[in-house]
């Protein structure tokens, strides 16, 4: 009655099979690590009319070719675009904009900080203005995915179902929403992605020239350091296109200038940046010629230097935070940065959206613009006494917007005059 395979023998059996599976498993894991070195070799996968996303990689022929086609007036801003975005024709080419009034919707991947809140405030301000012009249908639907890609995707779908005409998407993950965008496009809804590159070629992107900005601040640092010594690059979140792009820009400049480059990973988080910097300083007693800011770094880095009792080198800024300006005022150490508030981004996104609603056709799927620079010459115009080291606000462009509307004239063709609005960035609270 006892069967051939008693628990005992089957135990021996599973031991063996378990081991086998284990081995196979490790092999697979190793291949995975193999990819580490191997994912360099080119992606022949995309043979379509959009360039490939080449974050942290050198330019391909396709990239350089695509750059040639960019109108000369805007080419600077598009430098190194392949690090953060894919360039190609307007995916909405055969899209017929509906007549006003339009329903605007705002899908944010996260709202839990002041920067994001500024973006939303500005968007609401603009919609109110357009409403006064009778161009808006109902309230703006706002959603927040708390950094949950699939949730944001459903939220976008929901907005489509709720009859939005324009969905402005604030910093979606690089991949993860393309399907949602596709179904939005099919439903005739205009999707504008703000403040980040994306892998999706089925949405309009509005972003600033990260690579170019990175280059600009790096060039300044090279000049200040006299092109020798060690610069520390304070990197953002690994793998996030926006971060990689500016870093690529800076790296390129530093390598050209022949500076020694070392890295800390700040992950755009003040506490992390400061501890990383402190740990770096404790482990590197020799002089640092300068620190390049990949975002949020300037203030915590300065504090780190002061508190480690080291003399402060040249530290760039990036996003032009009020705290950074206050810091500059306090230390009186010259720096460089840009105005990169979320508000500005929203303003540019609306410009693009309104042009397309007015029937204009963008030359490209991605619309990049340069950021206003903050430097010693215009510092006093940006700095306000209310700004403190712990202010959460951002400096705003002096003339209320990153670029004049005319900037887009070369990038769009056809259509009528778009509706206009005041950015009212200067009315944002300084605190």
Residues 264-283 that bind another protein (CB under 8 A): 264-265, 267, 269-276, 278-283
Tell me the C-alpha distance between 321 and 305, whole Å.
19
* Nearer of residues 8 and 68 to another protein, judged by Cβ: 8
How many residues sit in the footprint of another protein (CB under 8 A)? 113
31 binds another protein (CB under 8 A): yes
Instruction: Confirm or reject binding of residue 51 to another protein (CB under 8 A).
Output: no
Selected from 138, 175, 223, 404, the binder of another protein by CB under 8 A is 175
Report in angstroms how near the CB of residue 376 gets to another protein at its nearest.
23
Closest CB to another protein among 221 and 278? 278
**Minimal distance, residue 172 CB to another protein, in Å:** 11
User: CB-wise, 38 or 72, nearer to another protein?
Assistant: 38
Q: Closest separation between CB of residue 328 and another protein, Å? A: 14
Residue 62's closest CA among 78, 74, 75, 46? 46
Helices assigned H by DSSP within 258-377: 270-283, 298-307, 322-331, 342-357
Q: How far is CA 261 from CA 153, 233, 291, 302, 385, in A?
A: 39, 7, 10, 18, 35
CB of 355 to another protein, least distance (A): 27
Question: What residues between 381 and 410 interact with another protein by CB under 8 A?
Answer: 388-393
Among 26, 287, 334, 376, binds another protein (CB under 8 A): 26
Minimum distance from CB of 430 to another protein (Å)? 12
Tokens 């008693």 — which residue?
A: 6
Closer of 26 and 409 to another protein (Cβ): 26
For another protein, the binding residue among 59, 149, 398, 428 (CB under 8 A) is: 149
Is residue 187 near another protein by the rule CB under 8 A? no
Binding mask 412-431 for another protein (x = CB under 8 A): -------------------x
Query: Among 75, 219, 224, 263, which residue sits at the site for another protein (rule: CB under 8 A)?
Result: 263
The enclosing H or E element of 230 equals: strand 230-235
* Tally of CA atoms within 13 A in the half-sphere of 215 that contains its CB: 16
1's CB contacts (< 8 A; 6+ apart) are: none
* Residue 61 host element (H or E): helix 61-69
Residues 273-332 close enough to bind another protein by CB under 8 A: 273-276, 278-286, 299-300, 303, 306-309, 323
Could you say which of 44, 258, 332, 385 contacts another protein (CB under 8 A)?
Answer: 44
Q: Which of residues 326-385 bind another protein (CB under 8 A)?
A: none
What is d(CA 198, CA 171) in angstroms, rounded to the nearest whole number?
A: 9
Contacting another protein within 79-118 (CB under 8 A): 110-114, 116-117
Nearer to another protein, 36 or 93 (CB): 36
Q: From residue 53, how far is each of 48, 149, 377 by CA, in Å?
A: 12, 19, 36
Report in angstroms how near the CB of residue 82 gets to another protein at its nearest.
11
CB 403 within 8 A of CB 77: no
298: left (phi over 0), alpha (psi -120 to 50) or beta: alpha
Cβ burial, residue 20 (10 Å; 0-12/13-18/19+):
exposed
For residue 333, give Cα distances in angstroms to 6, 78, 298.
79, 31, 11
- 207 or 303: CB nearest another protein: 303
């Amino acid at each position: 009655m006892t069967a051939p395979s008693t628990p005992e023998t089957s135990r021996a059996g599973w031991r063996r099979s378990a081991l086998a599976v284990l081995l196979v498993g490790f092999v697979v894991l190793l291949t995975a690590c193999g990819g580490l070195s191997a994912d360099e070799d080119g992606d022949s996968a995309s043979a379509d009319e959009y360039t490939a996303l080449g974050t942290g990689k050198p330019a391909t022929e396709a990239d350089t070719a695509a750059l040639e086609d960019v109108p000369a007036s805007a080419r600077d801003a598009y430098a190194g675009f392949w690090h953060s975005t894919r360039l190609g024709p307007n995916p909405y080419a055969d899209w017929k904009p509906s007549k006003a009034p339009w329903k605007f919707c705002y899908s944010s991947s996260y709202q839990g900080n002041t920067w994001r809140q500024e973006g939303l405030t500005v968007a609401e301000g603009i919609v109110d203005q357009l409403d006064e012009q009778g161009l808006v249908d109902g309230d703006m639907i706002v959603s927040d995915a708390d950094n949950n890609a699939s949730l944001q995707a459903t939220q976008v779908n929901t907005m489509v179902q709720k009859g939005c005409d324009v969905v402005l998407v604030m910093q979606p993950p690089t991949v993860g929403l393309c399907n949602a965008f596709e179904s939005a496009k099919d439903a005739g809804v205009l999707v504008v992605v703000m403040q980040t590159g994306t892998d999706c070629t089925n949405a309009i992107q509005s972003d600033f020239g990260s690579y170019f900005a990175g280059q600009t601040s790096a060039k300044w640092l090279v000049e200040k350091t006299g092109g020798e010594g060690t610069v520390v690059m304070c990197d953002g979140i690994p793998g996030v296109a926006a971060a990689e792009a500016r870093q690529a820009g800076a790296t390129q400049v530093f390598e050209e200038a022949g500076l020694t480059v070392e890295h800390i990973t700040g992950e755009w988080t003040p506490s992390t940046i400061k501890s990383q910097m402190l740990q770096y300083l404790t482990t590197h007693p020799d002089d640092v010629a300068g620190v390049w800011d990949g975002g949020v770094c300037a203030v915590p880095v300065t504090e780190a230097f002061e508190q480690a009792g080291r003399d402060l080198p040249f530290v760039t800024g990036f996003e032009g935070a009020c705290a950074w300006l206050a810091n500059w005022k306090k230390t009186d150490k010259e720096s460089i940065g840009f105005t990169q508030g979320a508000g500005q981004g929203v303003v540019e996104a609306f410009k693009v959206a309104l042009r397309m609603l007015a029937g204009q056709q963008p030359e490209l799927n991605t619309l990049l613009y340069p950021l206003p620079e903050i430097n010693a010459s215009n510092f006093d115009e940006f700095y306000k006494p209310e700004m403190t080291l712990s202010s959460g606000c951002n400096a705003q462009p002096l003339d209320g917007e990153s670029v004049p509307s005319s900037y887009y004239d070369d990038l769009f063709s056809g259509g009528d005059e778009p509706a206009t609005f005041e950015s009212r960035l200067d009315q944002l609270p300084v605190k």
